[in-house]
Amino acid sequence: MALLLTKVLTNPSEGVPAAVEARRALWPVVFLSLATAFGGAAFAVKWNAAPSIIQGLEKSGQLKGMPEADLADQIQQAQRLKLVTSVAGGLVLPVLMVLGIAVALSLLAWLLGKKGSFNGFFTAAAVGLLPLALARFLYGLVALVQTSVSEDRAATLLPSTLAFALHSQSPKLMRLLSSLDFFHLWAALLIGIGFAAVVGMRRRQGLLVGAALFLAQLGVFGLGLPGLSSGGGK
């Protein structure tokens, strides 16, 4: 099984269809969940909660006159909560993400007039997300070697986006560059290959599907939702 999953990453043109045909969804989901939990836990262990807690207390007016012991206790509680929620979220959210992608692939197949089993789409999603499992594992390793990590550095520990190579004064452009992530593109293309294997499409068409999925994700999470949360960038 380990050899097959390694082949998915090193030789996806053969590894992904083989994994989809064998319906090997369990271990990719397990690896994704454990890697996500590990990455989150590693960050939580090294997280310096003091700046965030102090800033929040200052805004609420509770910091003035607060004993140092109470402040230290709040910081410690925040770090513990961060660790628990990171591990819990890492174990649960990846499963929901795989399920959501499988539903999206099923809908896409219906729109294209293609047929495929939901089990096959679920396997394609699980196998295709292995690059994200690798990214989150590497993120955890990088976090562990840090002396401490702030919230601001959380998104910059693993340099995998164009934002690390290109810089701009435009917030919109920086959001876009930050969303152009190598591991996400890799995962989208693998999902496309898996989709093609399930519905009987050519591999080249599957890569186009993967590219379209990446662009859709980029449009929603790279531009759409951030733009709404920031009032359209105004």
pLDDT tens digits, residue range 82-135?
Answer: 999 999 999 999 999 999 999 999 999 999 999 999 999 999 999 999 999 999
Q: Which residues pair with 149 in a beta bridge?
A: 47
Confidence of residue 151 (pLDDT cuts 50, 70, 90): confident
Of residues 144, 150, 215, 151, the one with CA closest to residue 179: 215
The rounded distance, in Å, linking the Cα atoms of 213 and 58 is: 43
Q: 29-54 pLDDT, tens per residue?
A: 999 999 999 999 999 999 988 888 88
- Given a contact cutoff of 8 angstroms between Cβ atoms, the answer to whether 134 and 157 are in contact is no
Give the model's pLDDT for residue 172: 67
225 part of a folded domain: yes
Describe the crossing of helices 26-46 and 130-144 by its angle, rounded to 10 degrees: 20
55 part of a folded domain: no
Tell me the chain's radius of gyration from C-alpha atoms.
20
The rounded distance, in Å, linking the Cα atoms of 30 and 35 is: 8
- Residue 174's domain spans which residues? 14-39+91-229
52 part of a folded domain: no
58 part of a folded domain: no
Give the 3-state secondary structure of residue 224.
Answer: helix
The rounded distance, in Å, linking the Cα atoms of 158 and 137 is: 10
In this model, does residue 226 exceed pLDDT 90? no
181 compared with 129, residue with greater pLDDT: 129
219 compared with 115, residue with greater pLDDT: 115
In this model, does residue 19 exceed pLDDT 80? yes
Of residues 96, 97, 114, the one with CA closest to residue 195: 114
Confidence of residue 28 (pLDDT cuts 50, 70, 90): very high
Of residues 198, 194, 191, 195, the one with CA closest to residue 117: 198
- Could you tell me what percent of the chain has a pLDDT over 90? 53
59 compared with 45, residue with greater pLDDT: 45
33 part of a folded domain: yes
In this model, does residue 148 exceed pLDDT 90? no
Of residues 218, 216, 217, 194, the one with CA closest to residue 205: 194
- Given a contact cutoff of 8 angstroms between Cβ atoms, the answer to whether 153 and 147 are in contact is no
Give the model's pLDDT for residue 168: 60
What residue has token string 């399930």? 198
The rounded distance, in Å, linking the Cα atoms of 45 and 174 is: 28
DSSP H or E run through 89 = helix 68-111
Confidence of residue 230 (pLDDT cuts 50, 70, 90): very low
**Chain centroid to CA 46: how far?**
20
In this model, does residue 229 exceed pLDDT 50? no
Q: What is the number of domains present in the chain? A: 1
114 part of a folded domain: yes
169 part of a folded domain: yes
129 part of a folded domain: yes
